[in-house]
Amino acid sequence: MTNAPLSIVQPDPAGLAVAADMLRAGQLVAFPTETVYGLGADARDDTAVAGIYAAKGRPSFNPLIVHLANLAMAETLCDFNDDAHRLAGAFWPGALTLVLPLRPDARISKLVTAGLDTLAIRVPDHPVAQALLAAFGGPVAAPSANPSGRVSPTTATHVADGLGRKINGLVDGGPCGVGLESTIISCVDTPTLLRAGGIPAEAIEACLGRPLATSADPETPVAPGQLASHYAPKGTMRLNAQTAGPDEVMLGFGPVDALLNLSPSGDLTEAAARLFDCLHQLDAINATHIAVSPIPNHGLGVAINDRLQRAATPRD
Ligand code: AMP
Ligand code: MG
């Protein structure tokens, strides 16, 4: 989140170089894709990705789609099986998002994957998106560039009206295509349709030579957006705790005595950036009982509390 004036740049080499530099500096840059305008941040930068949630006012941490210039770059982030290679070969660049196993050396922010070990990726077809991704040369996390709950933006004016004071840059590429979201296919196991979108399921089935599973199938009981709610530390969590009990590990916020602290200075952006990392660290030390400091319920605190509450809900 920022209060700096919005830099609107043209999609020419000079403007794209400025936008790529802004991404490198951890800033938020909106750009056109063939679906809608995306709100981009360097997917390796925890603080920049936290900024996406702050700017959009998203009340929950759903995993984000990472945009890449080409297949070679995608292969450095995810493991591709034969199905994934076939689909990428047929539909990239284009409105197809693949969910694939995340490579351990990918260095993607855990806030992008919401702590999952899978990653949603796509190579967009829009020439301006292509040129920006090539100029930047790295992975760009980008949900739609609109305030949470508002209509998806298909012009630069929509973006400026909705997010103008909350983002740093905007590449004005004119109106973008159809405004349909990308089709999301998981190729982690059996190819599964997670979200219908710009590329019809029939075209994907024709390419694979077999029907897609759907997330309503009993074997794959995961709907888009819900997968994230399944990531929670193994230990039980007690929220709004002032101090840890004798058998508890403290996950702190603010100036408290804690083994792990989301943000000793009480900064919600830092806490959001560190959240999934801290949850993984609690598993790594086999924490069985976790006490969590109160988190203020405004700004990014809303999404942090949403995630903590899900993690604290008893599971079987
Ligand atoms: P949006 O950011 O609005 O384009 O939405 C991204 C969609 O991709 C959401 O429905 C997410 O739940 C879904 N998604 C992103 N990453 C994953 C993942 N690793 N597994 C399953 N779904 C995902
Ligand atoms: Mg959206």
pLDDT at 2: 57
Distance CA 235, CA 287 (A): 6
What per-residue confidence (pLDDT) applies to 229?
43
Q: What is the C-alpha separation between 40 and 167, in angstroms, rounded?
A: 10
C-beta of 63 in contact with ligand 1 (< 6 A):
yes
- What's the pLDDT at 223? 44
Structure confidence at residue 77 (pLDDT) = 98
Q: Mark the ranges of the chain whose per-residue pLDDT is less than 50.
A: 218-229, 316
CA distance 297 to 305: 7
Distance CA 287, CA 56 (A): 33
Is 131's C-beta closer than 6 angstroms to any atom of ligand 1? no
Ligand 1 and 258: CB distance under 6 A: no
pLDDT in tens, 60-91: 898 999 999 999 999 999 999 999 999 999 99
Q: How far is the CA of 119 from the centre of ligand 1 (A)?
A: 9
Q: Residue 242: its pLDDT value, please?
A: 96
Query: Omega of the bond prior to 93 within 30 degrees of 0, cis?
Result: yes
C-alpha span between 233 and 259 (Å, rounded): 16
| Pocket flag, ligand 1, residue 64 (CB < 6 Å) | yes
Shortest-distance ligand to the CA of residue 151:
2
Rounded CA gap, 272 and 274, in Å?
5
Give the pLDDT confidence score for residue 35 in this predicted structure: 87
Average pLDDT in the chain: 91
Q: Which of 310, 261, 259 is nearest to 287 (CA)?
A: 259
- The pLDDT value recorded for residue 220 is 45
Distance of CA 242 to the CA centre of its chain: 31
If one counts every other C-beta atom within 10 angstroms of the C-beta of residue 61, the result is 27
Q: What is the pLDDT of residues 186-197, one digit of tens each?
A: 999 999 999 888
Task: Report the separation in Å between the CA atom of 63 and the middle of ligand 1, taken as the mean of its atom positions.
Answer: 5
Residue identified by tokens 């170089």 is: 17
Strand order in the sheet with 169-171: 7-9, 169-171, 29-32, 37-42, 140-141, 65-67, 118-122, 96-101, 183-186, 192-195, 213-214
- Give the amino acid at 166: K
Q: What is the per-residue pLDDT for 230?
A: 59
Token pair of 173 as six digits: 């590429």
Q: Which residues, by Cβ under 5 Å, contact ligand 2, an ion? A: 144
**Distances in Å between the alpha carbon of 32 and those of 55, 171, 266, 312?**
17, 7, 35, 38
Does ligand 1 come within 6 angstroms of the Cβ of 224?
yes
Q: What are the Cα distances from residue 77, in Å, to 42, 104, 105, 106, 177?
A: 14, 8, 8, 5, 28
Backbone dihedral angles phi then psi of residue 14, each to the nearest 5 degrees: -65, -45
CA of 129 to the centre of ligand 1 (A): 19
Q: Output the CA–CA distances (angstroms, integers) from residue 94 to 65, 130, 197, 224, 240, in the order listed.
A: 13, 11, 11, 20, 45
Return the residue whose CA atom lies nearest to atom 14 of ligand 1. 63
* 225 touches ligand 1 (CB under 6 Å): yes
CB 210 within 8 A of CB 193: no
* Residue carrying the six token digits 């400091």: 293
As to burial, measured by CB atoms within 10 angstroms (0-12 exposed, 13-18 middle, 19+ buried), residue 158 is buried
Non-local (6+) Cβ contacts of 279 within 8 A are 115, 231, 232, 233, 311
What integer pLDDT is reported at residue 224 of this predicted model? Answer: 44
Contact between residue 55 and residue 74 where contact means Cβ atoms under 8 Å apart: no
Output the pLDDT for position 151.
Answer: 82
Length of the chain equals 316
